[in-house]
Structure 1
Amino acid sequence: MTGIEQVHEGMQVVGSDGARVGTVDAVKMGDPGAVTTEGQQDPREPGLLSFVARGLGGGPELPRQERERLLRVGYIKLDKAGPLSGSAYLAADTIDRVIDDVVHLAVPGKIS
């Protein structure tokens, strides 16, 4: 396997250009059967999807289709490296391969 199934907390993440992106903080496996996000949030807690939206730079208004896609394909929560430190969420389909405990992305290492 060369995807999210091999990813675990603490792994380094690098872009397709070799730039260090950050460290895996958490992994969420996808649910291919997830068609909608309705009813998947406890009203007493901040929504996971709002955290995903902020992490992706889309603010709380990340389009519903993108939130639902992340639930279907899975994602990794990333502690970003460099001057733009913080968290980001990367869809599992951005993972190119996993080699020697390093996640290599199929996209360049500039994560906003």
Structure 2
Amino acid sequence: MEQQGDQQTTISRVTTGMPVIDVAGTEVGTVDLVQRGDPNAVTVQAPTTPVPTADPGSSLDELIESTAAEEPDVPADLAARLLHGGYLKVTTELARTGAVYVPAERIATVADGHVRLDVPVGDLPPEE
């Protein structure tokens, strides 16, 4: 459990906008979202309601809000692990979808205004 505490201490020093560098020294991108771990977050459920269709009585804002994706936008098993341990969402041009997720345990250091990872960018799960 101490390792989980160390990860939470590390991730708490990350702020949005920080550059992220992988283990090979490649600049991955910038932090878009910081999510600390929640030990009680063990499952992620897919929405049970179908995507709403536009009806004349709905406002555009309501429609956009109802179809917005929940974070993290990855398969449910990975989402559960990310929510449990904590993660960063990193905006990047190196992924087809424009973003990747960094599990808290992949953060090597947070120093000098940037985040260093212990894995290459290719090992990070992309946003779906």
Short-chain TM bin: 0.7 to 0.9
Greater C-alpha radius of gyration: 2
Q: 2:57 maps to what in 1?
A: none
- TM-align CA RMSD: 2.7
1:34 Cα offset (Å): 1.4
Partner of 2:17: 10
Query: Following the alignment from structure 2 to structure 1, what is the Cα–Cα distance between the partners of residues 84 and 94?
Result: 30
1:20 aligned partner = 27
Corresponding residue pairs, total:
101
Unpaired runs of at least 5, structure 1: 54-61
State TM-score, norm by structure 1: 0.74
Q: What is the identity, as a one-letter code, of the residue corresponding to 2:103?
A: A
1:52 aligns with 2:73: yes
Q: Unpaired runs of 5+ in structure 2?
A: 1-5, 50-65
> Does 2:116 align with 1:109?
no
Q: Which has the higher strand share?
A: 1
After superposition, give the CA deviation of every residue in 1:28-81 in whole Å (9 maximum; x if it has no partner).
111012122249x7x6343314x521xxxxxxxx2x321111110111111114
Structure 2 Cα separation of the partners of residues 32 and 47 of structure 1: 22
TM, length-normalised to structure 2:
0.65
- Identity value in percent: 35
Look up the match of 1:67.
79
